[in-house]
Every structure is written in structure tokens, then in C-alpha cells.
Structure 1
């Protein structure tokens, strides 16, 4: 341990891993914000705390059985169907699937379905009103169950990425704890910001839809570089910030005219 603390390479790996874990945790944090935001205020904080706490437990538990996690990448069955050739002659999709692939496909499908349902509720409020209200009710147990399900998917992907960056378990443990701590601190402000800005909710749901499709593609062997995904998300956030500034200025101008 003393050798790790005095090693510049170890510290470089630690900071790189913390940064990566925080970036990867953005997906999880967006989902937690959307799901917990549908609960009553008293239960909203409980769902966030339990969800993020379980995310930490899952990641630490997976690190403790790291050999098993690595084994998840081994193929468990092969459909034996040759995919259509891609642009460079490679198969357009893989037919040999590992447990990791199946988990990513299942988690991605869940995200796509969930995001699509939420988008439908947002664009068709009249339908919700016919069923007793504009806000779809979500129980605390249901919210926590959904958060735990996605925690498992994101945790496995996160730990597998961490394994590729360092072989030192203490560094992985420390990086995961710090990254989840940042998520815990940011969860409340992010949820309040999302809930107070309806257009941001729609943008967040679009992110979840995109992330779900990326997870499914990854499960089928078509890896999309994370840089492209987060660049697209950053551009979407930049455009939304411009829209928010424009709306704020229009509201101020309208208020001045009303006073004048």
C-alpha cells in the first residue's frame, strides 16, 4: 500500500479512473433523477440515497469477485449465423454472446422502453389526464427496483472498463468510492434542476434513449466510442443552455413591457 501511495503512476491511474467513473456515472445519475423525480418529495430523496448506495455496494461487490466479472466476457452460446458483411468486410454483428452482452442488451432494451414510455407521457399529457392525472404515479419500491436493475448494468460495464485501466484493486476501490461519492453529492441538485426545467427532462429522456440503443449495439458487438456519445450529450446540453438563456431574456423583456 505504501508503494502505491508513493507511486506517481498509481496516482495517475487513480485520477484517470475517478474521472472515467464519474463520466460513466452520468448515465446512471440521469436515470436516477428521472425515476426519483416521479415520487413524492419525501420519498424522492430516499430513492436517490438507496439507489446510489446500492450502486456503490454493487461496484464494490463486483470488484471483490473480479475474476467472475472478467469471466462474463467469455461466450456462452453462438447462434452460428454469419452476419451481413460491413463496410470493411467484417460481420455487421456478432453471433457469439457472453453474459456481459446479454446484460447490456437487456439493460439497453429496458432503457429504450422506459425512455419511450416517459417521452410518450410528456408529449401526450391528455392521455395521462384521462387516467387520473398528468403525472404517472410511481411507488418507492418500483423506483428502487428500476434503479437497482440499471445499477447492475452500469456497474458491470464500469468495472470491466476499470479492469482495462489498472490491475491494482486498492486503486479501483478508492476510485469507485470517490466517484460514487460525487454522484451522491450531485444527485440532489441534478434532480431539482431536471424537475424545474421541463425541456431538460425531455433532453434527459433523449439521452437515456440514445444510451439504451448504444448498450444494445454494444451487446451485439458494435462498439460506439464513449467520446462520441458524451460529445453528443455535451452538444445537446449546450444547445439547451442557449434555449434557457433565450427564454429567460424573453421573460425579462415581457416583464419590463408589462411594467411599462
Structure 2
């Protein structure tokens, strides 16, 4: 550890910027985990959420410790339709397609009204949820850390930013998961977000970058409209209760 870094203004500016970016990029992870665990009983859901976020933290730190290998992931390894694809592109393509499939499948089940299959044991569902979290954690971790590499020169700053951002994500994940569980329309909106993120990952994988700012702005606006709808619905319900018969 180079303690001289603690006294440099550039260190703190880099840490602040990188932490903010990691928190924003981590929103995708939180939404995905929250949607998946909503199918589990409350005690298993909490445990799955904790395991998911712990795995996300472990994957990110491990990737930071093997930066030389990670940077090599951006080198083309195969050519498809005249364009070189790196391992990172292939991973993003696979992860994006998985998100598109998963979000579409969940939306279909929600629309058809068969969200919960009571014939499946909770433990089997728990194992399946953890397996899916592992897959998407790896995809989001690689995307997050490859983006972070160009924003900071020192691994210590990157690890500190990841630790802070994961602490913030953990603190917020419970409230987000609970909110999605209690409001079916919010869960459908979250699935639509995941579908959009999956499309963005596939686009990134084939070399067509969609600025994340556009996606997160759309997500924030949609979430604000949803909050207003829920607020309005609750106020109408309270008004009906106060109304004399």
C-alpha cells in the first residue's frame, strides 16, 4: 500500500468518481438479484441476496487482482462477419442474451399469472437462483471492472471504490428487493429494465455502444412515474377508508 496516495487530491477525486460509477453500474446487479429472490420465501430470499452481493464483491476484487489477464480480454480472439470479437465481447453477448431470455421468461410468467410454482421445493429454487446470480455477477463484474480500469491508475483506489460501492449496494438492496416484492407493477418495470440492459449488453458485444446515461435516465424517469402512481394509489385508498358509508 502506497500511503502517499492518501495525501493526493487526485486520489480522492478518482476514488469519488470511481465509486459513483461503480454504484451506478451496480444498479443492474441489484435489480436482477431483487427480481430473482422475489420468488423465494423471505428467509431464503434474504440469504440469496446476501450471497449474491458477496459474490459480486468477490468477483470484482479478484478481477482487479488479475488486471493483466483482464486487459487481455479486450484483445480480439475471433473474427465474425468481418469484426474481431474479444473475450469481453463474447461474455457481454452471452450475458446480454441470458438477460433478454430471463427477463422475457419472467414477463411471460407474470402476464400468464403463473409466477409461483408450488410443486418445486424451495431449496431447489434457492439453488437455481444462486446459479443464475453467479452467471450474471460475472458478466456485470467484468463490464464494471473493465470500465473502471481506464478511470484509475492504482489498484488500491479501485478496490476501495468497489468496497464502498458494494457497501452502499448492500444497504440499499433490502429496501429495493422489498419494494419490488410488494408491488407487482414495479417488478414488471424492473423486468423491462433488465430486458433493456440485456439489449445494451448485446449491442456492446457487437461493437455498437449505447451510452449508459441514456439507459439510466430512462430508468430513473420510469421509476419516478411508478413512485408517483403508487403514491397516488395509496392516497386514493386512504381517502376511501376515511369516506363515511
> Is the shorter-chain TM-score for this pair beyond 0.5, marking a shared fold?
yes
TM bin (shorter chain): over 0.9
Q: Give the structure 2 partner of residue 90 of structure 1.
A: none
For the structure 1 residues 250 and 28, does the alpha-carbon distance in structure 2 shift closer, same or farther, using more than 3 Å as the test? Answer: same
Deviation of 1:133 (Å): 5.1
Instruction: Report how far residue 255 of structure 1 moved.
Output: 1.7
Residue matched to 1:111: 99
1:5 paired residue number: 6
TM-score, normalised via structure 1 length: 0.89
For 2:213 and 2:75, locate their aligned partners in 1 and report how far apart those are by CA, in whole Å.
26
Task: With the length of structure 2 as denominator, give the TM-score of the two structures.
Answer: 0.94
In structure 1, the partner of 2:172 is 186
Partner of 2:112: 124
The Cα shift of 1:135 comes to 10
1:74 aligns with 75
In the superposition, relative to structure 1, how do residues 134 and 243 fare at CA in structure 2: closer, same or farther (>3 Å)?
farther
> Residues 87-139 of structure 1: CA distance to partner in whole angstroms, max 9, x if unpaired?
xxxxxxxx2111000100100011011001111111111xx28x955999761
Match 1:140 to one of 96, 121, 126: 126
| Aligned partners of 1:38 and 1:135 also within 8 Å | no
Structure 1 range deviating more: 20-29 or 132-141:
132-141
Counterpart for residue 170 of structure 1: 156
What is the correspondence of 1:155-234 to structure 2 with a 5 Å cutoff? 155-234=141-220
Give yes or no for contact 1:38–1:136 (8 Å, CA) kept in 2: no
Report the counterpart of residue 30 of structure 1 in structure 2.
31
**What secondary structure does 1:139 align onto?**
helix
User: How many angstroms does 1:73 deviate by?
Assistant: 0.5
Q: 2: CA distance between counterparts of 1:16 and 1:196?
A: 33
Unmatched runs of 5 consecutive residues or more in structure 2? none
Deviations 1:26-58 (CA, angstroms, capped at 9, x unpaired): 000000001111111121111111111111111
CA distance in 2, matches of 1:135, 1:244: 32
Structure 1 CA distance for aligned equivalents of residues 38 and 212 of structure 2: 27
The reply on whether 1:150 has 2:136 as its aligned counterpart is yes
1:173-229 Cα offsets, whole Å, 9 max, x none, are 100011111111111111111101111101100000000000000000000111101
Task: Indicate the SS of the match to 1:96.
Answer: strand
Q: Extract unaligned runs of 5+ from structure 1.
A: 83-94
What CA distance in whole angstroms lies between the structure 2 residues aligned with 1:51 and 1:249? 35
The equivalent residue for 1:100 is 88
Structure-2 separation of matches of 1:124 and 1:253? 32
Q: Summarize the Cα distance change of 1:252–1:217 in structure 2 as closer, same or farther, 3 Å threshold.
A: same
The answer to whether structure 1 residue 238 and structure 2 residue 196 are counterparts is: no
State the Cα distance separating 1:253 from its structure 2 match.
2.2
